[in-house]
Amino acid sequence: MSALARILIVEDDPNDLELTLSALSDYNLANEVVIARDGQEALDYLYCRGEFSARTTRNPAVLLLDLKLPKVTGLEVLQQIKSDERLKMIPVVVLTSSHEEKDMIRSYSLGVNAYVVKPVDFHEFVNAVKELGVFWAVINEPPPGSVKK
């Protein structure tokens, strides 16, 4: 697992994860990825605790966050990030299967930077992930203190 990662993916579903990584690999972005399998692990990474206690303190350039996660849910992770002075600048993109309006409202009111519904269509899904990866990890200028190219 790379210590210097521009993209932190928080995803519990191994199949979605594989499809996401396969999409990112088309743009050689797969190596820039660090993976957390639940909300707890994501927070451990961001706070450099547990198995991530040895990593450098730089923040990822973007966090792709699923909402339905074991232990700590995506919304709880989002709330924690946006209420912490050191983390609130990290761009967070919710990448979820949920079309539900209440999830969108809750995410935006917590300060999410983008909300993307995982397309059912595989091609659309691949395109969405690619575009997200390129935009947030390459085109977008990340906040100071993030991992740079």
Q: Which residues bind other proteins (CB under 8 A)?
A: 13, 15-16, 19, 22, 67-68, 96-100, 118-123, 125-126
Min CB(89)–other proteins separation in Å: 29
Identity of the residue, 71 or 88, whose beta carbon is nearer to other proteins in the bound complex: 71
Min CB(25)–other proteins separation in Å: 12
Identity of the residue, 108 or 122, whose beta carbon is nearer to other proteins in the bound complex: 122
Question: Which of these, 54, 11, 7, 63, lies nearest to 31 by C-alpha position?
Answer: 7
Min CB(145)–other proteins separation in Å: 33
Min CB(14)–other proteins separation in Å: 10
Distance (Å, whole) CA 40 – CA 127: 28
Residues whose CB is less than 8 angstroms from the CB of residue 14 and which lie 6 or more positions away in sequence, other chains included: none
Q: What angle do CA 6, 9, 13 make, to 5 degrees?
A: 160
User: Cα 40 to the chain's mean position, in Å?
Assistant: 13
Identity of the residue, 13 or 84, whose beta carbon is nearer to other proteins in the bound complex: 13
How far lies 5's CA from each of 29, 76, 85, in Å? 10, 22, 21
Identity of the residue, 87 or 94, whose beta carbon is nearer to other proteins in the bound complex: 94
